[in-house]
Structure 1
Amino acid sequence: MDSRSRYITTPEDAEQFAASQMRDMGFPDARVTGRGADGGVDVVARRAVAQVKWMHSKVGRPDLQRLYGARGAEHSKDMLFFAELLSPSPYTQDAVGYADEHGIGLFAYTSDGNLFPVNQHAKDFVAGIDQVRAARAARAAFMVTVRTVVWSSLLVVSICGLFISVLTVPSAAPVWLGFLALSVLGLVLARVYQPGVK
């Protein structure tokens, strides 16, 4: 996963980081619950719940069982667990087995904002990040194309209008020159300013 160029130094930072990662994974409404006491869910979204551990010893099966129980009867919700990478694996083998059996995505994160999938369910969520980013890039590229077509059309109309006005109504030529200048400027900006396209 890519670094978010921020340091995670508090439990609140960790929760905000997890919520941000979930939004990238395709849960746009992911937000920190802010409940304070650990009730099993630290981040919620319409389609997912997550628990986040910061500066914690190895996460065991009971931690995952709390998340599973906190999800309640809403079995369609995805479950994600984020734990700080303080050792080669922040999860016990028993926890990984439980997560695999119950469809919980396990993630490890570092204090400098890198995220690593631990099990296959987490890798599937990460694939969602790539899909979301690809969709954003495609949408941005489409908008560049639309702007280019609009400004190009205005440029063609301006050139035609200028040509016709010079032949028929010379006094209208300055108006068409203005449209021509505007359309050239718009076309240049449409090609130069491309937010979201890399």
Structure 2
Amino acid sequence: MGGKYRITGDKYPRMRRPSGRRRIVLGAVASLAVAGLLGWGGLQLVDVFSGDDEASAAGGAKDCPTRPASADAARKAEPKAFPQPRKITVNVFNATPRGGLAKETAAELKKRGFAIGDVGNATKAFDKKVEGPGIVLGAKSAADTALPVLATQLQGAARQTDARKGGEVDLILGSKFKDLATKKDADKALAALTRPAPTPSKPESSDGKNC
């Protein structure tokens, strides 16, 4: 061409193909993108299946509700062996300054079926030294037999044992003694004392298997 568009020299502009390095970079980026998509899809599948397993486990747990001990188990438990009040001889001693307290208390215990032994003032070891409502005192062999039965008659009574050999037990009235427990409350306490503890049973699933 002529004029101002005339080409001079012996070199001409050429269109170059993209370099090999650029193609490698583009291919690597595409591969990473594909690998990421595949990994993400795999995680989604794992979550789906693991969620089903957890739901199944939760459903299985719901199939195993806890159940209270059955009446049969309670009937099989043997009642504790405690002596009847009529077989317990009680000595009633007054460790307070109030007169006639031991006699009145002994009369009430007799009405409730206890056998009564000695009645009077407490010995020096206890006289005016019992700060609570009272003490039930007996031989070590009475710790789990006569003493608990007698203690049902006086709320807050302390239990003690000594070296005596006989089967009699003492009720020593303390400074905070006001009265024996009402007969109704004493009977409830005695019934609870002799009631056997129920044996718990293992819970079972809906299909009869132990959980």
Same fold (TM over 0.5): no
Rg larger for = 2
Q: Compare the two structures and name the one with the higher helix fraction.
A: 1
In the superposition, the TM-score normalised over structure 2's length comes to 0.24
